[in-house]
Amino acid sequence: MIMINYRRLRLNEYSGNPMKRSHRSFILLITSILVIVTDDSIAQDYTTSWHLPEGAIMRLGRGTVNDIAYSEDGSQITIVTSIGIWIYDALSGEDIKFIFTENRDDKTISLSPDGVTYVRASSGKIQLYDINTARPFLSLLETEGITRYIFTLNGRKLIGVGKEGLIRAWTFDEDRTLIRTKEIRLGSVNLRDVRFDAVAISPDGKLFAAVYFFQRAYKFGLWDLDTGKRLKGVTSNVRYATVLEFSPDSKVLASGGQPHSGVKFADMESDELRVPHIRLTNSGFITLAYSPKGNFFATANRDGVRLWKKTIERNPPWTQIKDKENRPVLLNRGKSDIVQILFSPDETTLLTLSNIGTVNTWDITTGEKRISLTKHTSSIRMLKFSKANGVHGNRLTSYSGWINWGIRQWDIRLGELLFTKSIAGHDVISPDGRISINDRNDGSLYVWNVKDMENIATLKGQPTQDPYKEITISSNGEMVASGGKDAQIRVWNTKDPERDSPLFILKGHINPIERLAFSADGKTLASSSLNINNWKTEIRLWDINDGSLNFTIKKHRFSVKVLVFSHDGSILGSAANDHTVRLWDTVDATQIATLRNQKGVESLRFAPDNKTLAIGKWDGTVSLWNISHDFKVPILYTLSSVLNGIIDSIQGEQDVISKLEGHRLAVSALEFTQDGSILASGSRDGTILLWDWRKVIAKPKNKD
C-alpha cells in the first residue's frame, strides 16, 4: 500500500521487514457512491443494519485507517477508512457523521489538510468532493500514469505523482476554483524503475523531495516544481531516510529513518545540514511531524512519542518538552506502534495513529491522553469465539496487525467492543489467544502469557540469522513448532522444564519450510516446502508423540498458502498458488477432493461437523462448500464483495446459488462458533462480518 498525507507521501514496499512495511500504507479502494448517516444512532446502525450484506447479522470494526485530518478549527477529526469516512468530535470522540462508500473502483483518495475536501481518482478522472455533502464540486481530467495524489499544506494545490517522472499540479483559489494546471517531468529519472522510500512536497508547492532506490543504490533528489529542474545539495545526508517532512514555511526539510541517526534537518536556502540534529536514544525510528505553525515537532520511535519545542537559538533548534516534574514528556511509552502523528491546528493536541488502528489524542504540555478511538482496526489476522455467561459464541476476539498485534474482544450480542490490547514485537499468537511468541533471531523463542505479558518460557536451539521463520502454536498453547531456511522443523513443549533444546528436530524436507499447522489436539503437525527445482510443494504430516513421519504428499504445484485441519483432525485442507484447494484424509493420505479454479485463497476453515468448508479469498468473497458426501456437488454459497465475481467450481462444475456484497479486501480469517450456527469472517479491510450462513444456504436459489 501507499499512504497519502497532505505533507508527505510514503510508500509501502511488499518486501523486506514487515515492521517497515507496516509504517507506510496507501490510500486506495475507496468508493464512488456515498451515503451519509448523521443521526444519533450511527454506531448501532453501522453495526447491525446499515448496508449489511444479505445473510450478515452484524458488522464489527470500522475499517483500516488510511488518512486523518483535523478540521480547520480543530473541532472535528476526519478519518478515511477502507469502507467509508468517519467524522468525530475532537474533544469527546463521539461520532458526528459516517459517509458509507459503496463500490471499490477508486484508485486513490486523499484529504485536504483542513479535512473539508477529499480527492477521488477513478476511471480516468479526478473528482474533488465536499466532505459535508459528499458531493463532487470539481472534476479534473486525469493524466494517464498518475497514481498518487497529495495536497499541499494550504490546500491550494493538488499534486499528482506518476510514472516516468511525471508530475501534474492543479492550483485552486480560495473558493476552490481551478486556476491553473501544470505538467512537468522530473529530469531524466525514470520512476518506473525506481522504488521510493519517502516522498514530500513543500507546503508552498514549490519543491518536491524524494528518497528512492535506483540502480542498486539509495539516492535523494530535490526538484523545483515550477521548472522541473533538479536542485543540488543535501543528497548524501538524507539518502537513507524513510520519512521526509518539510517545515510549514518550506525552508527546512526534516528526514528520519536512518539507522541510529535520529532526525536531520536540511536548510533549503543554504543547502546545508543543520547540526546538531535530534538524536534518539533507541533505534527503530518510525515517523515525525511539524506542528502547523512550526513551533513544535514530534518524533516516534521504539521508546514512544517525543515532543519538541522550537528554541530561539539556532544551535540547538529544538528542546524536548518536559512535564511539571521536569521529566521529558513521552507519549505511548515503551511502544513502537505509532505510524502517523498529527498536530491540531491550535498546536495544543497531538493525534497518534497506531499500526493496530487505534487513534489517540494527547495534551502536548502534560502528556495526558484526551480521547481514544479504538474501533478502527488493521488487517484481521485471526478470530476466536469464546464463552460468556456459560454460552459459547457470545464473545469474539479478533487479532490484527503484524509484529505489533491489536487484540480486541467483542460482545456479539450487542455489537460492542469490550476491550483493546496491544502487544508489540511478537510474531505469533496461539489459537486460544493465551500465549504469544517473539523471535529475536538470537537462537531462542520467547513465550509470553498474553494476559499479563509475563515471560513463561524460553525455547532454545533455534537457528540464528533466519528472520523469515514460520512459527506455529498448538490450540492449547503447549506445543510450538518453527521451520525456516535450513529445511528443518523444531518442536518444543512449553510445559517441559528442560528447554535447552527442542523436543524433536524433524528432518526430511530439502527446501525452506513455508507453512506449518497443528491439528486441534496438538498430536499431528503438517508442514509444507516448495521444491524450486520442479516447483512442486511437498506436504508432510508428522506424529508429535514421537516425531515420526506419517506420510508425504506431492500434489500441489507452486507454494502452499494455507494449511488447516478439520476440528476432529480427520481432514487436512491445503490451498496453493496452483489455484486449487485439496482435501486429504489424515489417516492414509487419500485425496478426498480437489476444488479447482480457486484463485487468491487467503483462508480456510472447516465447520464443526466437517460437512462444510469455508474459503476466504483476496477479492473479499467467502465460499461455502458441501464436503459431506458428494464432491461433485459444488459450491453452496458465495458471500462476495464483487457484483461480477468469479464463479468457483469443483472439478470444473459450476453451481453458484447466490452472491452478496461483503468485504472490500481479502478475507484473511474465518471462524465458526462451536455449534456451527455463526460464521465470522475477518478481512484486511479491518472489518468482521457475522453470518447466519445456514439460513443463507437454506434460501431457495434464484433461477433467473
Residue 596 near residue 604 (C-beta atoms within 8 A): no
Look at residue 344 and tell me if it is in a domain.
yes
Asked whether residue 434 falls in the same domain as residue 361, the answer is no
Asked whether residue 443 falls in the same domain as residue 558, the answer is yes
Please classify residue 154 by burial: count the beta carbons closer than 10 Å to its beta carbon, then call 0-12 exposed, 13-18 middle and 19+ buried.
middle
Residue 408 near residue 377 (C-beta atoms within 8 A): yes
- In the 8-state DSSP scheme, what is residue 229? P
Asked whether residue 313 falls in the same domain as residue 454, the answer is no
Look at residue 226 and tell me if it is in a domain.
no
Is residue 20 classed as helix, strand or coil in its secondary structure? helix
Please work out, in degrees rounded to the nearest 5, the angle formed at the alpha carbon of residue 602 by the alpha carbons of 598 and 604.
80
Global pTM reads: 0.84
Look at residue 63 and tell me if it is in a domain.
no
Please work out, in degrees rounded to the nearest 5, the angle formed at the alpha carbon of residue 356 by the alpha carbons of 354 and 362.
30
Whether omega before 316 lies within 30 degrees of 0, making that bond cis, reads: yes
Residue 209 near residue 253 (C-beta atoms within 8 A): yes
DSSP string, 31-60: -S-EEEE-STTHHHHHHHTTTPPTTEEEEE
Look at residue 266 and tell me if it is in a domain.
no
- Per-residue pLDDT of 544-568, as tens digits, reads 999 999 999 998 989 999 999 999 9
Look at residue 159 and tell me if it is in a domain.
no
Output the nine-digit C-alpha cell for 196.
521510493
Asked whether residue 589 falls in the same domain as residue 624, the answer is no
Q: Where does a domain end: 339, 373, 407?
A: 373
Asked whether residue 573 falls in the same domain as residue 511, the answer is yes
**Which parts of the chain sit beneath pLDDT 50?**
1-33, 40, 105, 107, 275-276, 630-637, 640-660, 704
- In the 8-state DSSP scheme, what is residue 208? E
CA distance 327 to 673: 49
Look at residue 532 and tell me if it is in a domain.
yes
Is residue 191 classed as helix, strand or coil in its secondary structure? helix
Alpha carbon separation from 291 to 212, 269, 343, 394 (Å, rounded): 26, 21, 5, 44
Number of domains in the chain: 4
Output the nine-digit C-alpha cell for 495.
510445559
Displacement of CA 684 from its chain's centroid (Å): 7
Looking at residue 104, its pLDDT comes to: 55
Residue 612 near residue 604 (C-beta atoms within 8 A): no
- Per-residue pLDDT of 481-525, as tens digits, reads 999 899 999 999 988 756 678 999 999 999 999 999 999 999 999
CA distance 598 to 578: 8
Asked whether residue 367 falls in the same domain as residue 392, the answer is no
Residue 151 near residue 129 (C-beta atoms within 8 A): no
Displacement of CA 321 from its chain's centroid (Å): 32
| Dihedral pair phi/psi, residue 102, rounded to 5° | -90, -50
Looking at residue 194, its pLDDT comes to: 67
Asked whether residue 518 falls in the same domain as residue 495, the answer is yes
Asked whether residue 400 falls in the same domain as residue 478, the answer is no
Look at residue 541 and tell me if it is in a domain.
yes
Q: Residue 34 forms beta bridges with which residues? A: 101
CA distance 510 to 517: 19
Looking at residue 261, its pLDDT comes to: 63
Look at residue 408 and tell me if it is in a domain.
yes
- CB atoms inside a 10 Å sphere around CB 694: 16
Handedness of CA 548, 552, 557, 561 (dihedral sign): negative
| Dihedral pair phi/psi, residue 294, rounded to 5° | 80, 10
Alpha carbon separation from 124 to 39, 147, 152 (Å, rounded): 35, 11, 22
Buried b / exposed e over 600-614, threshold 16 CB at 10 Å, is bbbbbbbbeeeebbb
Which residue spans within 640-687 are E strands per DSSP?
Answer: 659-660, 667-672, 679-683
Looking at residue 374, its pLDDT comes to: 93
CA distance 221 to 237: 11
Domain interval for residue 415: 388-421
Asked whether residue 553 falls in the same domain as residue 448, the answer is yes
CA distance 570 to 279: 57
Asked whether residue 305 falls in the same domain as residue 325, the answer is yes
Alpha carbon separation from 321 to 312, 327, 349, 352 (Å, rounded): 15, 8, 13, 17
Residue 187 near residue 165 (C-beta atoms within 8 A): yes
Asked whether residue 446 falls in the same domain as residue 417, the answer is no
CA distance 489 to 548: 12
Q: Where does a domain end: 560, 595, 630?
A: 595
Asked whether residue 312 falls in the same domain as residue 445, the answer is no
Task: Using the structure block, give the residue that is written with the C-alpha cell 512442486.
Answer: 536
Type and span of the H or E element at 170: strand 166-172
Displacement of CA 488 from its chain's centroid (Å): 30
Looking at residue 389, its pLDDT comes to: 67
Interacting residues of 49 by C-beta distance below 8 A, sequence separation 6+: none
Half-sphere CA count of 595, side-chain side, radius 13 A: 32
